[in-house]
């Protein structure tokens, strides 16, 4: 199958350090190539891929000192994709919805993975208008705000290559935080949990321009504490070492996380996760197997105390069953074939799709009755994440998918 993967241009594919969407695109592309597909990747010129690379911009936009207008470069990229579209069996977009007006009128089979949050009010009229565009979610919970308005093909969970992360059967004596230094990711809460548990915390994170004030005011004052270490951004090797050597990963988010790639990266190392019950967390996690799902700092501290009850080998096996890049590629190939088959069938008056039911997430879902569950009173998680739309085309905040 000849497949086009269209990635955002903010980060290289894969990113040198932080970048959720571009990292997923890389893992998917490499898995598809290894399965024998003919893949072309539309991405920045500094990308590293086994596929054929099409680049409209020499380097990723986030770190570029010369290119200030991401919209211009993404429009040029879409023009290049349009010129070559007839050469592919399927086109797979990872660039939000900017291409919808153009591709609605084109005959080539295509689909779009929505990597970001979908609960913002400006998105509803967009997807009501373009309800004929086939889209894929990265978690069932991500879809809930839009209901059945879009043409949902289904959900494909993100995946990472199992061989990329070394299984560490022992872990270490510190907790880890990995992500962005922004309020919705919960770094301040992670510090609170670590200090209350009396365990060292290693924090690997980028600080975007938009979050500098938050970082200076809310995080920096804690960095002089002997238990808190800020290591900055890390590459793949550094991430592998950080996660594999941790006793647990803290994931105390304060927003409806669409997926949370760092959770499965930790699981790939055998490192259990202590995560807040928001967004996709209840789908990605299995309480007591991949770590613990909690509702407050108090519960998180208890989870830290009980973290050695989680078998790191079982945690790794859980990752392999559900979240490898091979599993992700298989899910997308099924959708590719489905779209190609639909195009070859005679047109009918039947509906083009039947949206699969989306489980409703209550603030406190029914507890897992397994014996390993942490049985504590339910607590409110705290202030929610910032609700403003974080556009795809914003150089200082290129990705909210992870």
Mean pLDDT calculated for residue range 132-150: 94
Report how far Cα 107 is from the mean position of its chain's Cα atoms: 30
Share of the chain above pLDDT 90, in %: 76
pLDDT-derived band of residue 389, with 50, 70 and 90 as boundaries?
very low
Mean pLDDT calculated for residue range 285-313: 98
**pLDDT tens-digit series, residues 153-188:** 999 999 999 999 999 999 999 999 998 899 999 999
Mean pLDDT calculated for residue range 301-316: 98
Mean pLDDT calculated for residue range 313-329: 98
pLDDT-derived band of residue 345, with 50, 70 and 90 as boundaries?
confident
Element (H, E) at 28: helix 20-34
Q: How many CB atoms lie within 10 A of CB 318?
A: 20
Mean pLDDT calculated for residue range 230-258: 94
Share of the chain above pLDDT 70, in %: 86
DSSP secondary structure string for all residues of 286-327 = -BTTTEEEESSHHHHHHHHHTGGGS-HHHHHHHHHHH-BHHH
The DSSP output letter for 216 is I
Alpha-carbon distance of 181 to 18, in angstroms, equals 12
pLDDT-derived band of residue 337, with 50, 70 and 90 as boundaries?
very high
The CATH architecture annotation of domain 163-319 reads 3-Layer(aba) Sandwich (3.40)
**pLDDT tens-digit series, residues 78-116:** 999 999 999 999 999 999 999 999 999 899 999 999 999
Sheet containing 151-155: which strands, arranged edge to edge?
52-54, 38-42, 2-6, 90-93, 110-114, 134-137, 151-155
Alpha-carbon distance of 208 to 395, in angstroms, equals 9
**pLDDT tens-digit series, residues 367-377:** 333 333 333 33
At residue 29, the pLDDT reads 98
User: Of 49-53, 121-125, 295-299, which range is least confident?
Assistant: 121-125
pLDDT-derived band of residue 20, with 50, 70 and 90 as boundaries?
confident
At residue 350, the pLDDT reads 44
pLDDT-derived band of residue 69, with 50, 70 and 90 as boundaries?
confident
Per the prediction, the chain carries an average pLDDT of 87
Dihedral of CA atoms 49, 50, 55, 60 in degrees, nearest 10, equals 0
Which residues 6+ apart lie within 8 Å of 6 measured at CB?
A: 42, 77, 78, 81, 91, 92, 93, 94, 95, 99
**Res. 385: pLDDT tops 80:** no
Mean pLDDT calculated for residue range 11-15: 93
Spatial CA neighbour of 146 closest among 184, 185, 117: 117
Query: Can you count the helices (H) and strands (E) in the chain?
Result: 13, 13
Assigned fold of 2-161+327-344: Rossmann fold (3.40.50)
At residue 346, the pLDDT reads 64
At residue 347, the pLDDT reads 56
At residue 185, the pLDDT reads 96
At residue 16, the pLDDT reads 81
Strands 52-54 and 273-276: unpaired
Mean pLDDT calculated for residue range 389-396: 35
Q: Range(s) for CATH 3.40.50.2000 in the chain? A: 2-161+327-344, 163-319
User: Which ranges of 85-164 does DSSP label H, i.e. alpha helix?
Assistant: 100-103, 123-129, 140-143
Q: Which residue has the higher pLDDT, 158 or 380?
A: 158
């Amino acid at each position: 199958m000849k497949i086009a993967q269209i990635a955002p241009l903010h980060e290289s594919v894969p990113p040198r350090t932080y970048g959720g969407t571009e990292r997923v695109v890389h893992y998917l592309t490499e898995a598809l190539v290894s399965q024998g597909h003919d893949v072309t990747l539309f991405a920045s010129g500094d990308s590293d891929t086994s596929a054929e690379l099409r680049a409209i911009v020499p380097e990723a936009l986030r770190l570029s000192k010369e290119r200030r207008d991401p919209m211009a470069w993404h429009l040029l990229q879409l023009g290049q994709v349009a010129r070559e579209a007839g050469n592919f069996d399927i086109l797979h977009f990872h660039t939000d919805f900017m291409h919808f007006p153009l591709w609605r009128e084109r005959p080539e089979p295509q689909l779009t993975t929505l990597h970001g949050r979908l609960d913002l009010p400006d998105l509803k009229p967009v997807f009501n208008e373009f309800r004929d565009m086939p889209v894929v979610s990265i978690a069932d919970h991500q879809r809930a705000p839009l209901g059945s308005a879009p043409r949902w093909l289904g959900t494909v969970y993100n995946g990472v290559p199992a061989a990329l992360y070394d299984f560490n059967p022992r872990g270490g004596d510190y907790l880890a935080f990995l992500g962005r230094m922004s309020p919705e990711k919960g770094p301040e809460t992670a510090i609170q949990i670590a200090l209350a548990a009396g365990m060292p915390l290693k924090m690997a994170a980028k600080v975007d321009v938009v979050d500098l004030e938050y970082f200076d005011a809310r995080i920096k004052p804690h960095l002089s504490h002997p238990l808190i270490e800020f290591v900055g951004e890390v590459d793949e090797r550094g991430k592998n070492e950080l996660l594999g050597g941790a006793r647990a990963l803290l994931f105390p988010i304060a927003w409806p996380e669409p997926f949370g790639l760092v959770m499965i990266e930790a699981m790939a190392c055998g490192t259990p996760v202590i995560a807040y019950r928001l967004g996709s967390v209840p789908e990605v996690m299995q309480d007591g197997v991949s770590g613990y799902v909690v509702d407050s700092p108090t519960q998180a501290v208890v989870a830290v105390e009980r973290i050695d009850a989680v078998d790191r080998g079982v945690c790794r096996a859980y990752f392999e069953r559900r979240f490898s890049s091979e599993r992700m590629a298989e899910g997308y190939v099924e959708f590719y074939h489905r779209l190609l088959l639909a195009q070859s069938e005679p047109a009918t008056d039947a509906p083009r799709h039947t949206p699969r039911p989306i489980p409703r997430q209550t603030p406190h879902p029914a507890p897992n009755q397994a014996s390993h569950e942490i049985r504590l009173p339910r607590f409110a998680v705290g202030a929610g994440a910032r609700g403003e739309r974080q556009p795809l085309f914003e150089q200082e905040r290129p990705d909210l998918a992870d």
